[in-house]
Amino acid sequence: MRRIVFVLSIALVGLVGLVGLVGLAAAPAVEAPPQQQQVDRWSTLPAKPQPLLVHKTFRSKSMDAEVGYNLYLPPGYDADAATRYPVLYWLHGMNQSESTDQYPIRYLDDAIKAKAVKPMIVVYASGGQRTYYTDNPGIHCMPETSIIEELIPLIDATCRTSAVREQRAIAGMSMGGFGSLKFAFKHPELFSSVTAFAPGIRDQESFAKDRPDILLRMFGNDAKNYAANHPATWLKTNLKEIKGKLPVSLYVGTKDYLLAGSRSLHQMMTEMGVEHAYQEFEGVTHNLSQYSAQTKAVPFVFAAEHFR
């Protein structure tokens, strides 16, 4: 396993770039494939009981739908009604749900009990199966609004959180890594750190080739719309609010099919002077179990180190 590097110098050679999102925005739309019918599943009960987690739902006004989430409350939460806690939000990957694609909470629970990390609340959010955490009001699919404007205020209102930016972190993998970076870069006033495992960072041509149904359904087959929702776009837009203020950690495996995108974002942040932790794992594929076996409690420790 390679060591984590906090980067402010030029990164790996031979990188596949993010192919200038300015140019991307001007790219012509590809011919639309036939529209595929998809019914979004917003609440997924666990197939079997999940130790340490409780599945809950809320009514989303933006979608007029019941939306699920899984909640972890740290040891001692019920014993002291006065204590408030920081929160980490986890975003799941493509074709997954709040109950099927979760960074193992046992690593945090064990670390808290060992006093290796301060207690925190964790929320596993629902973002739909193939949404890339992007709103499309035309089809009543609003994962960004439901998380940013509905779920976060709900958690702050119903749990004993420290409801401030300095006590709120976000993380995710794959599509959830794309979403967590997008949300953190777009809303740096809401999050104190962000962690992404093998985020779905692609240029428009690659995305159109491999995810034509998502490009059509969520982005209207429009390169400008895709670019407007890309983490790299928001990194550039909010650079002053991010640089030196929003810690970023990025993990990817050398056998992960999304390696090129992670390297490209790593290079971009390096060239922009955005300090971040970047780590590649030799031989690791696109598999959350493989990643979590490597990092264990590290993502929680990273978040905790930047809670203020």
Q: Please identify which residue in the block is written with the tokens 């960074």.
A: 103
**Is 50 among the domain residues?**
yes
Per-residue pLDDT, averaged over 21-28, amounts to 39
**Is 32 among the domain residues?**
no
Residue 229 belongs to what domain range?
A: 5-27+39-305
**Domain containing 177 — which CATH number?**
3.40.50.1820
Q: Are β-strands 121-125 and 87-91 bridged in parallel, bridged antiparallel, or unpaired?
A: parallel
Two tokens, residue 249: 């950690």
Q: What is the mean pLDDT of the chain?
A: 90
**Is 164 among the domain residues?**
yes
**Is 273 among the domain residues?**
yes
SS3 category, 114: coil
**Is 33 among the domain residues?**
no
How many structural domains does the chain have? 1
pTM: 0.90
When mean pLDDT is compared across 2-6, 81-85, 172-176, 206-210, the lowest value belongs to 2-6
Residue 53 has pLDDT above 50, yes or no: yes
**Is 253 among the domain residues?**
yes
Q: Are β-strands 121-125 and 65-72 bridged in parallel, bridged antiparallel, or unpaired?
A: antiparallel
**Is 55 among the domain residues?**
yes
